[in-house]
Amino acid sequence: MAERAATVSPGTRDQLRQLWVLMITSCVDMIGFAIVLPLMPFYALKFNATPEQIGLLVASFSIAQLVFSPFWGRFSDRYGRRPALLIGLSASAVAYVVFAFSGTLWLLFLSRLIQGAGGGTTGVVHAYVGDTIKASDRAKALGWLSAASALGVMLGPVIGSFATHFGHEVPGLIAAALCVVNVAFAWRWLVESKKPGGPAKDKKPIWHAAWVVVRHPQRPVSRFIWIYGAGMLGFSAMTGVLALYLHWKFGVDERNIGYVFLYVGALGLVMRTLILGPAVDRLGETGVMRLGTVALSLGLLLYPFPSSLGMLAVVIPLVPVGTALLFPATTALMSRVSNKEELGLTMGVAQTFAGIARVIAPLVATSAYQRFGPPTPFYIAGGIVALVGVLAFRVLPPVPAQPTPAEGIAHSGATTR
């Protein structure tokens, strides 16, 4: 693992060390997140929640993330990546304590909203990579970062499922304790990545950059943000009903769902550590992005067909393969064509669009699940990602450019058909 990481480093020990610290921080953060996430629908069912209410519960995280993502991007551009990340990690610890002692559905909602507000720093993490890794290596570095997250996704649900045997509150308390340890680790070892600079020259409202993406969808940065957001829409539609679907069709519950996530996380880890780097070397970031849309759309469309968990295990790999290719490659392409001085803002806007997707997707998916049958959300999700594929195949490899600060997110040097 260390040898492979060295091949994607920018060539200096300091930069490699920063990437490893960020990976460890992201991994531990994701373990806490993944301890709680698969259990949330089952806890809500104990409070007699309907599928549509569970969809709103899932979406509440993204509503808060949507509101705070652009703020965290601008905050990190102005005050640094490190303080933004430390605040986000601390918010997660508070959210998990609320989850641990939730005795009503509304407390579950509160825990999700607090966690979502802190989770708006995802774009800051991507900007941190953009600060420390040269453009040609960013897709690989983002792949290693997502591999660390995949390790968290692999371990967290198993810990959470096992912890439920000791009481309702135990998984949340374990997740909160991990967050506290993670804050201490990041405080000690995570250095600031953003170079000191003068005051921000762009005084436009924080939502201006997002509005530019809506008004000018054909511009290069905008195109990649739309692909990222639409891909997240399809993927989130599936995850919004996955626990309900597995419970309905295969009898999976909070005591054993962790093993499903263990399998998915292991696949994602293999993809990001062993496959993504060579794939980028061979196909380029644009080719990897296209291949990811094909794998993900096929996986989603085929999900309802298996009649046993053994048969489903054959289909499941297509989804982690698709996400492991699509999202790191698209993020790397965004960083290539973005104005360096506004990289944090660009990544924050991308997370805003991803947040919109994560708000809409579980609401639509759970409504379709309840009203039209459990398989329906998977067909919707697969169709959405297939449309993403059309966008991805219309994008040519970008030509990096550094526009002036006045042009910002609205301009770049990439080429599109």
When pLDDT is averaged across residues 3-31 and rounded to a whole number, the result is: 70
CA 233/CA 62 separation, integer angstroms: 12
Domain span at 22? 12-190+206-410
**What pLDDT does residue 415 have?**
36
Q: Per the domain annotation, does 3 fall within a domain?
A: no
Q: Per the domain annotation, does 101 fall within a domain?
A: yes
What proportions of the chain, in percent to the nearest 5, are helix, strand and coil? 80, 0, 20
Q: Per the domain annotation, does 253 fall within a domain?
A: yes
**What pLDDT does residue 274 have?**
86
CA 222/CA 20 separation, integer angstroms: 30
**What pLDDT does residue 412 have?**
41
Read off the DSSP letter of residue 393.
Answer: T
- pTM for the predicted model, two decimal places: 0.73
Domain count, the chain: 1
CA 40/CA 54 separation, integer angstroms: 8
CATH number at residue 260: 1.20.1250.20
14 versus 161: the higher-pLDDT residue is: 161
Q: Per the domain annotation, does 146 fall within a domain?
A: yes
* Amino acid found at 56: L
Query: How confident is the prediction for the chain on average, in pLDDT?
Result: 83
Q: Per the domain annotation, does 197 fall within a domain?
A: no
Residue 381 has pLDDT above 90, yes or no: yes
- Taking CA atoms, 369 is separated from 215, 242, 377, 415, in Å, by 33, 10, 6, 40
Q: Per the domain annotation, does 46 fall within a domain?
A: yes
Give which of 319, 214, 212 is closest to 261, Cα–Cα. Answer: 319
When pLDDT is averaged across residues 130-145 and rounded to a whole number, the result is: 77
Q: Per the domain annotation, does 231 fall within a domain?
A: yes
Lowest average pLDDT, out of 165-169, 319-323, 401-405, goes to 401-405
Residue 402 has pLDDT above 70, yes or no: no
Q: Per the domain annotation, does 199 fall within a domain?
A: no
